[in-house]
Amino acid sequence: MTLHAGIVGLPNVGKSTLFNAITQVGAEAANYPFCTIDPNVGMVEVPDSRLQILADMVHPKKIVSATVEFVDIAGLVKGASKGEGLGNKFLSHIREVDAIVHVVRCFDDENVIHVEGNVNPKRDIETIDLELILADMESVDKRSDRTAKLLKMGDKKAQGEVSLIERLKEAFNQGKGARSLTYTDEEREILKGFPLLTLKPVLYVANVSEEGLSAAADNPYVQQVMSIASEEGAEAVVVCAQIEAEIAELEDDEKEVFLQDLGLKESGLDQLIRVAFDLLGLMTFFTAGPMEVKAWTIYQGTKAPRAAGVIHTDFEHGFIRAEVVSYKDFVENNGLNGARDKGLVRLEGKEYVMQNGDIVHFRFNV
């Protein structure tokens, strides 16, 4: 399972520079709107210090990290929902991702063009939000026509959908996205058939200048972004895309020294990747053996058979039980044998809910 995160924002806010830093694939970054037409796609490993610790104990032939796929999507302008700029392409690309990473410019630079003439994070965020809401309104209107026909035909399930559609329309007319509402389990099932952009979880990235990184807490632009994120219950991180691009080119030991000089414990990108991974309620379990130590991605609350199926469908279909030890117990007892001697290795059945950091060996029969 891989999280697909779309990097969005107005033109010239630093999306492609950030993407280059994250993935190091060399997406074109230039000082003019619509530089990114077709989305660039890159995979990046999720930072997890536990992997190396496990590898140092097990000595596998290889280490495999969990991954996030980042998609650098074309900059959006007013009227995108009506096809302005690259609007139709932009919106179709957003529909394909699991989460939205919204980059917001939080620095002044007369040498970098802003499509609106000046920097204003609140206005810029509202521009993107409005276009997504307008696109969702169009989707809901089309769905409403279909539902009305079903209701006339006596479809009882359509009544619940009519009520949900009315709630969505009311929210959209107030300038609020689908994320602003709470839903019943029944409504969540109905929503699976709605391609709503404003239902996707959002991570705001306040992109500051190199000089402004140390004073980000006092930056009024950053404060605007943090305030909006707080009101929405969304996540937000502060990065300097330009510095992150420089850090990405360094070797690991050089990177550590560079971060220390900046007074940082981790890079902004490591924080961004980790938060993006958490955004959808994902977590990691491990398999550890002489061939490989590998991180596997599952949703929080996943039961053992479904987790086994992430490795191979045969594991889920023929699931017998899971041999489980927590990461903490594994490390503190020098591996599987030490944990087993202490009675810390458990045999779990089909109802076991996986925990973050579990080290597992699945028993199955095909």
Neighbours of 321 (CB within 10 A): 18
Q: Which own/partner pairs from 172-179 qualify as long-range (CB within 8 Å, at least 24 positions apart)?
A: 172/133, 172/136, 172/137, 172/140, 175/126, 175/129, 175/130, 175/133, 176/133, 177/129, 177/132, 177/133, 177/136, 178/136, 179/232
The continuous run of DSSP H or E covering 332 comes out as helix 327-332
Closest CA to 111 of 15, 30, 16: 30
Task: From 298, 309, 301, 303, select the one nearest 324 (Cα to Cα).
Answer: 303
* Radius of gyration of the chain measured on its C-alpha atoms: 23
Write out the E strands in 208-309.
235-239, 282-288, 292-299
Q: In what order do the strands lie in the sheet with 3-8?
A: 40-45, 67-72, 3-8, 99-105, 202-207, 235-239
Binding residues: 12-17
Binding positions for ATP: 12-17
* Helix runs in 192-240, H state only: 220-232
